[in-house]
Copies of this chain bind each other. A is one copy, B any other.
């Protein structure tokens, strides 16, 4: 566990994405070179933030882009009705804060304690235009996030709550890399309310759906924020049964 982390995430920002093209090696993920990371560190500041910290608000002047090195962040929007819509959950090696016309479009808030790199937007722009390879990594990363976002849209098409939740758990399991593959444990750092706001369900329905998955012996919950996959095949079948 520590070995992988030490080798994959040396000091400095990192990005996780799947490349456009098929690569020969089993290097499934894009990685930045040491030099690229060092350059990013030069224009960035490392921040450690406690849970619930609001990193920025919708509409705020955007002068920075953020790269997560540790922890979980949610990106959401406040709707007039007082409800929230969670756009994405962001983890290690994710990027956020890509603004529109100098303004952020979402709010972002730390879920757990997080470590992020705050990169100056203007300096980053210059750096990217200068270093075509680095920019290509960013392009790949954003494309990756676009695909993830579209996948979520597919998820929302399901009308049944247990199915949506099953897909969600699989999503989170994927994000947790191979740690889940071995232990079958899936950390769900966000609250039930956040999950509901992401899945487009009420929190009561999420709760009931979770109970249903447990009843069907597909998963169980060691704690509220740690699911264990009891029947991987069954869960996958339900998740795929769109």
CA distance A18 to B241 in the complex (A): 37
- Given A142-B139, A153-B152, A200-B157, residue A121 in contact with residue B77 (CB < 8 A): no
For A22, A77, A139, the residue with the greatest tally of chain B CB atoms inside 10 Å of its CB is A139
Interface residues of A in 112-148 (CB under 8 A from B): 121-122, 125, 128-133, 135-136, 138-139, 142-147
- Given A138-B139, A146-B149, residue A121 in contact with residue B242 (CB < 8 A): no
CA distance A81 to B81 in the complex (A): 34
The residues of A with any CB-CB pair to B shorter than 8 Å are: 18-23, 28, 62, 77, 79-81, 83, 85, 87-88, 98-103, 105-106, 121-122, 125, 128-133, 135-136, 138-139, 142-147, 149-150, 152-154, 156-157, 200, 240-242
CA distance A121 to B157 in the complex (A): 31
- Besides A18-B101, A128-B139, A142-B143, 13 other A-B contacts (C-beta < 8 A): A22-B102, A80-B240, A81-B241, A85-B153, A87-B154, A100-B147, A125-B136, A128-B136, A129-B133, A135-B136, A149-B150, A149-B153, A156-B200
- 3 closest cross-chain pairs (CB), A and B: A22-B102, A129-B132, A149-B149
**Copies of this subunit:** 2
A21 B121 Cβ-Cβ under 8 A:
yes
Question: Could you show 10 A-B contacts with beta carbons less than 8 Å apart?
Answer: A21-B122, A22-B101, A22-B103, A98-B146, A128-B136, A129-B132, A129-B135, A131-B132, A142-B142, A156-B156
CA distance A102 to B18 in the complex (A): 10
What's the least CB distance linking A160 to chain B, in Å?
11
CA distance A23 to B142 in the complex (A): 22
A21 B102 Cβ-Cβ under 8 A:
yes
CA distance A156 to B87 in the complex (A): 11
Residues of B within 8 A of A154 (CB): 77, 79, 85, 87
What's the least CB distance linking A27 to chain B, in Å?
11
CA distance A105 to B151 in the complex (A): 10
Contact of A156 among B19, B105, B146, B153 (CB under 8 A): B153
Residues of B within 8 A of A103 (CB): 22
B18 A79 Cβ-Cβ under 8 A:
no
